[in-house]
Amino acid sequence: MEITVEVNGQSHTADVEPRTLLVYFIRDAVGLTGTNIGCDTSSCGACTLHLNGEAVKSCTMLAVQADGQQVTTIEGLANGDELHPMQQAFMNCHALQCGYCTPGMVMASVSLLDEIPSPSEAEVREGLEGNLCRCTGYHNIVKAVLEAAGGAQ
């Protein structure tokens, strides 16, 4: 089935099997490998990207469901060489260790601040419950999200 998805502002058309998962379409057909596949069971959040501006887990969506929709991946956040404020905050706060969960964490965090612009620490922790960091680097991740929200010291 032929689908057309707008990924990071660019239109991509490809012929996919209906059973193709969105994350494979993004990685293999579009060629953007920043979106990671972690648990593949909608638990870990490594594959989080934005569908029409909202964080979703791309391992639990079919590519055909995204036909005609807008997708933003981690590659689409920065403005040229200028990092997105959330990416900058992750850098400032050393909010990554091995980095595997980071693209999903950043995408989930941006979506979180869209819905709750000035979250409390508890709201950040709850808002990121769909993303696992196996380095257990949560403390600095939460600090980064609070910094990006303008609430950090």
Alpha carbons within 13 angstroms on the beta-carbon side of residue 83 total 11
Reading phi first (left if > 0) and then psi (alpha if -120 to 50, else beta), residue 99 is in left
Member of 38, 103, 119, 127 binding another protein (CB under 8 A): 127
Site for another protein in 79-118 (CB under 8 A): 108, 111-112, 115
CB 95 to another protein: min, Å = 18
Phi, psi of 41 (to 5 degrees): -135, 25
CB 122 to another protein: min, Å = 13
Should residue 17 be labelled a site residue for another protein when binding is judged by CB under 8 A? yes
Member of 21, 77, 101, 148 binding another protein (CB under 8 A): 21
Strand order in the sheet with 10-15: 10-15, 2-7, 70-72, 48-51, 54-57
Other CB atoms within a 10 A radius of the CB of residue 7 amount to 22
Interaction mask 26-65, another protein, x per CB under 8 A: --------------xxxx-x--x--x--xxxx--xxx-xx
Should residue 70 be labelled a site residue for another protein when binding is judged by CB under 8 A? no
Tokens of 62: 């079919």
Tokens of 21: 């998962």
CA distance 24 to 43: 17
C-beta of 22 vs 89, nearer to another protein: 22
C-beta of 82 vs 129, nearer to another protein: 129
CB 67 to another protein: min, Å = 8
For the chain, how many residues are written? 153
What is the binding site for another protein (CB under 8 A)? 1, 17-21, 40-43, 45, 48, 51, 54-57, 60-62, 64-65, 108, 111-112, 115, 127, 129-131
